[in-house]
Structure 1
Amino acid sequence: MDEANDYYKDDKKMDDAMLIYHEMNEKGFKPNCVTYNRMIQSCFSAERFEDTHKLLDDALSMYDLLSEDSKLNSDTSIIEVLLDGLSDCGELDFAREIFECLSARGIKPTPGIYTSMICGFCEEGLINDAKQFLEMEENHCWPTTDTYNYLLRAYLKNECY
């Protein structure tokens, strides 16, 4: 993780960040996607999974509210952060569950969401599982350079020539 997330590995600093987050809510200031992204990343980095779960619930509640208003475009970066964090923690089954629930929520996976899943499985050496996410092309969602880089590295690392 980056330096900002390393900063929150200190429990006191993470406690302070959570306190500010709760104070924001109590005073009626609703966190935006950037706030949720940073907080979720920091909680994963600090291995504070209960806090991560609570933030995820809050973010999904906010997301549901946003998706009801057709004038607002929903930001899927929260989902990418969540899938990345779950993959980093070896929680690939949970990441897959979340991915599979997206369409039920009316969320169309982005190239970044697919790439997060592919990366997670590639890092665990689960190439066949990773390749399943190339279904993205069937959904007119095209792989990025990062997508191909993760797959290529995994093929080479696992000697899948």
Structure 2
Amino acid sequence: MIHKGIKPDAVTYSSLIVTLGKEGMLTEARYVFDAMIQRGIEPNAVTYNSLIDGYCLQNKMDEAVKVFNMMLERGCLPFVFSYNILINGYCRIKKINEATSLYQEMSKNRIIPDVVTHTSLMGGLCRVGRPQAVLELLHKMLEFGQHPDLQTCAVLLDGLCKNQLLIQAMTLFQQMEEKRLDHDIVVLNILIGAMCNAVKLLIARELFCSLPTKGLQPDVSTYITMVKGLCNEGLIN
């Protein structure tokens, strides 16, 4: 383009950075980003977020934060999506203190966390074995007037089960049933697996048999989980 006398604009640069970021070509994406600034073309929020997301996906959180700080310094105000990217990145590598700090920073900057923010942070808290903090965060989420979606419920259910809080998990599942958020094989597999691991095979069997009533079919994971649970108890010859 440049050789032909066509000057790329902000949209052109941003599109290229987005594409390179998705392909994991961060060195090239950063080169284009720097060239964009050198030519006096100011990146927008989409440009910054694409580069931040690329670094987060490769667990390069220090680089991601540098770009985020540059975003602030150059007067491009972040919105909830920018914070969500960083929070999810930290949660994926179990740096929950950093993720929590960003969550608190959002409130100070009058940026309201959304369902994605809370779901990511809940997942991070589950990974580090802090189920009580997860439940507290759920209450905060409800205070914001936000209701858990299927993804949030799946994260919560998985966290409760992995921390052996089966009573709370079943209570959550019953609430999901009331809201018809239980019609998902992944959710049922989580609960069936937890019951099999806890040697509560009667409950696991009831959940398994309830699948057709929910319009669901067992998948490979469902069968493997049930067979393994029965074998461990010597119920299959």
Residue matched to 2:201: 127
Question: 1:108–1:48: structure 2 CA closer, same or farther, 3 Å change rule?
Answer: closer
Cα displacement string for residues 49-104 of structure 1 (whole angstroms, at most 9, x for unaligned residues):
3321122224454226xxxxxxxxxx411111111111111111110011111233
Matches within 5 A, 1:15-54: 15-26=97-108, 27-33=110-116, 35-54=117-136
Normalization by structure 2: what TM-score? 0.54
Identity %: 18
**C-alpha separation between the residues in 2 aligned to 1:17 and 1:49?**
16
Higher relative contact order (CA 8 A, sep 6+): 1
Normalization by structure 1: what TM-score? 0.76
Q: Which consecutive unaligned segments of at least 5 residues does structure 1 have?
A: 65-74
Question: 1:5–1:124: structure 2 CA closer, same or farther, 3 Å change rule?
Answer: farther
Residue matched to 1:56: 138
Which of these residues, 194, 218, 221, is aligned with residue 146 of structure 1?
221
Number of positions where the alignment pairs a residue of Structure 1 with one of Structure 2: 144
Pick the structure with greater CA Rg.
2
**C-alpha separation between the residues in 1 aligned to 2:189 and 2:153?**
12
**4+ aligned runs moved over 6 Å, structure 1:** none
Alpha-carbon offset, residue 32 of structure 1: 3.8
Give the aligned residue type for 2:132: E
SS class of match (2:164): coil
**C-alpha separation between the residues in 1 aligned to 2:97 and 2:136?**
14
Aligned residues of 1:24 and 1:31 also touching (Cα < 8 A): no
Question: 1:19–1:105: structure 2 CA closer, same or farther, 3 Å change rule?
Answer: same
Which of these residues, 209, 212, 229, is aligned with residue 137 of structure 1?
212
Which of these residues, 89, 94, 113, is aligned with residue 168 of structure 2?
94
**C-alpha separation between the residues in 1 aligned to 2:227 and 2:141?**
33
SS class of match (2:211): helix
Give the CA RMSD over aligned residues. Answer: 2.4
